[in-house]
Chains A and B, each alone.
Chain A
Amino acid sequence: MKFDLLETALLLGGIAFLAGCYGLLYGVGRLAQRQSIMLAGFACYAFLCVLVAVIVSTTPLAGPWKAIVVVFALGFLGIPPVTWRFLERTHPHRRRS
């Protein structure tokens, strides 16, 4: 188990980092109204899913932790669009423009 320590940690960090990249590109894509940037964001998310698959299949994490990683990875998918819609609803100047 110990020899998978660094790989596991880097995979977990990679998931959170890619979630950030996805959020960043999603937000910038929405602002610039550029489909290509948003697609890059979703590509980051797809890569994140690959890392989740690697974690589930190869690392020594216990079953419940793997389940939590999967659930939170799904949570990352939803946060940018949900937050964005909430912000648009609550910021009146944006709705008018």
Chain B
Amino acid sequence: MYRSQQLALKYLAAAIVIFGAMVVAGLMSAYYYINPDFLFGLLHFNISKTLHIDTLVIWLLFGFIGAVYWYLPEEFGIEPVGIKAAEVLFYVLCAAIAVVTLVFVFIQYGPSNEVGMWLVNQGRKYVEAPRWAAVGIVVVMLVFAYNVIGTAIRARKITGIVGVLIVDLIPLIVLYLDAFPAARNMSVDLFWWWWLVHMWVEATWEVLIGCIMAWALMNLLGTSRRIVEAWLYIEVALVLGTGILGLGHHYFWIGTPQYWLAVGGFFSAFEPLPLLGMVIHAIYDAGTHHMKTTNRPAFYWMLAEAFGNFIGAGVWGFMMTLPQVNLYSHGTQWTVSHGHFAFWGAYACGVISVCYLVLQKVRGSAFLDGITWRWAFAALNVGLVGMVGALLISGFAQAFIERAQGGSTLEAFIAGQENFWFLDGMYARFAFGLIFAAGYVVLAYDLLTIGRRLPVHAMAVAE
């Protein structure tokens, strides 16, 4: 095994641990809605929410980085350049994440000046981490880019997948630089902030996971490179073709000109069409292999990715993206429902799939299957769909009562939040959150033991 692949294992293991932290912070955030006095005076909703969404970004990013470190040496047949620096930075990054978490939990707020921004909390959604930690993330990503580009140069070879990956790393890093400024004008602040958040999540990340899925497909189904690369280019064209101007759906209401209603509405209404094509592709691949594979969990998680992406991003997105609907749905639990479903389908399932592919190689299993992963798969997906359904009901109630009927005042907000449909949705969301958490525990156990258990059973039988 290459050193880069050992580093990949560390990144993937850390990703699963941070996934767990995200689940805990998520359960806490959900619990505040049903018991607002929870930890009052000690730790408030905004801190648990910050931890929930920041760990979401970090665990997925760790998953992507780990997957690339895994496939990179196989792609080039040599040890990637600069792995020693990457190894050191992995520990530095983990330590930084731990320190930032402790700062968020125990210090929470800094002074309202530059010192607070640099050392404690920047208070911009998703990029709350203080600037010193953001500098660390930039350094890690620069070294990551050096590993990829340097290796391609040393190997004197460039493949289609690596080419796309390298081009994608540039906006990935450049856009993250928006994690630093504190623009005085909220409209300008949110304008660039959406460049970062939307272009990461709906553009550069999509391309990154596309590259990783391309390697995974070659690995899992033995699809030829020529097909995979053509497919990757088509995906890039469709995702960026709709996604770049799809940015407009975030520019409906932040002070930007009215033409964004037309631009954003059109391009984001377009998004389900390519996603339907991906569903057809998944069915085709599954069918031509007669659902036979040597790695059942990876295969099923990949299918979950295709369907989850279509329903979460496609169906849920189409429901709320036209401006006339979005005027009322924007900024309610309806958005939360869409966010959970789309992140799960587009990224989380893919990263879990890659974890199983890597483990098959690491544990040397010719055939990866079992009962445990099925329980994890079922509990996580049932938990997620349940949460999303519950949030949708709460979101409908909120949009209707607070926004459409009540005119969005404080009084209307309270009426919406105290409505029984809203509250029942919140209870149901918490209950399904517990099922999801149970699924996480089973998943973590399965990832630790799958491929190891079978020989033990075999020995027991032999005895």
A residues with CB within 8 A of B: 1-3, 5-6, 8-10, 12-13, 15-17, 19-20, 23-24, 26-28, 31, 60-62, 64-65, 68-69, 72, 75-76, 79-80, 83-84, 87, 90-94
Contacts and interface: CB of A to CB of B under 8 A. Distances in A.
B280 A79 contact: yes
A86 B445 CA distance: 41
Contacts of B231: 90
16 contacts: A3-B404, A8-B324, A8-B325, A12-B318, A13-B315, A16-B272, A16-B315, A19-B272, A23-B276, A26-B280, A31-B283, A61-B324, A68-B266, A87-B280, A91-B223, A93-B288
B400 A17 contact: no
A10 B284 CA distance: 29
B360 to A, nearest CB: 23
Contact of A65 (B265, B283, B399, B405): B265
Q: State the main secondary structure of chain A at its contact with B.
A: helix
Nearest to A28: B283
B319 A9 contact: yes
A83 B281 contact: yes
B233 to A, nearest CB: 12
B277 A83 contact: yes
Contact of A24 (B227, B262, B277, B283): B283
Contact of A72 (B270, B277, B320): B270
A45 to B, nearest CB: 12
B314 A16 contact: yes
Given A5-B400, A83-B276, 4 more contacts: A2-B400, A5-B399, A76-B273, A79-B277
Nearest to B278: A83
Nearest to A60: B324
B423 interface: no
B344 interface: no
Contacts of A87: 280-281, 284
Q: How large is the interface on B (under 10, 10 to 19, 20 to 34, 35 or more residues)?
A: 35 or more
Contact of B325 (A12, A83, A84): A12
A24 B405 contact: no
Interface of B: 223-224, 227, 230-231, 262, 265-266, 269-270, 272-273, 276-277, 279-281, 283-284, 287-288, 307, 310-311, 314-320, 322, 324-325, 328-329, 396, 399-400, 404-405
B396 A6 contact: yes
A83 B314 CA distance: 17
B310 A20 contact: yes
Contacts of A75: 273
A91 B324 contact: no
Contacts of A64: 262
A65 B284 contact: no
Given A2-B404, A20-B315, A72 B273 contact: yes
Contacts of B280: 23, 26-27, 79-80, 83-84, 87
Given A2-B404, A6-B400, A20-B311, A13 B316 contact: yes
Contacts of A68: 265-266, 269
Contacts of A15: 318
A26 B280 CA distance: 9
Contacts of B325: 5, 8-9, 12
Contacts of A27: 279-280, 283-284, 287
A61 B326 CA distance: 12
Contacts of A1: 324
A94 B288 contact: yes
Contacts of A83: 276-277, 280-281, 284
B322 A79 contact: no
A23 B284 CA distance: 11
A9 B316 CA distance: 9
A2 B405 CA distance: 7
Contacts of B272: 16, 19, 72, 76
Given A6-B400, A27-B283, A65-B265, A13 B310 contact: no
Nearest to A64: B262
Contacts of A76: 272-273, 276
B311 A17 contact: yes
Contacts of B288: 31, 91, 93-94
A69 B288 CA distance: 33
> 7 nearest interchain CB pairs?
A27-B283, A13-B319, A2-B404, A31-B287, A16-B318, A16-B315, A83-B280
Contacts of A90: 227, 230-231
A3 to B, nearest CB: 7
A65 B315 contact: no
A15 B317 CA distance: 12
Contacts of B262: 64
A84 B282 CA distance: 11
Contacts of B315: 13, 16-17, 20
Contact of A61 (B283, B322, B396): B322
Nearest to B265: A65
A61 B318 CA distance: 14
A90 B400 CA distance: 48
Contacts of A80: 276, 280
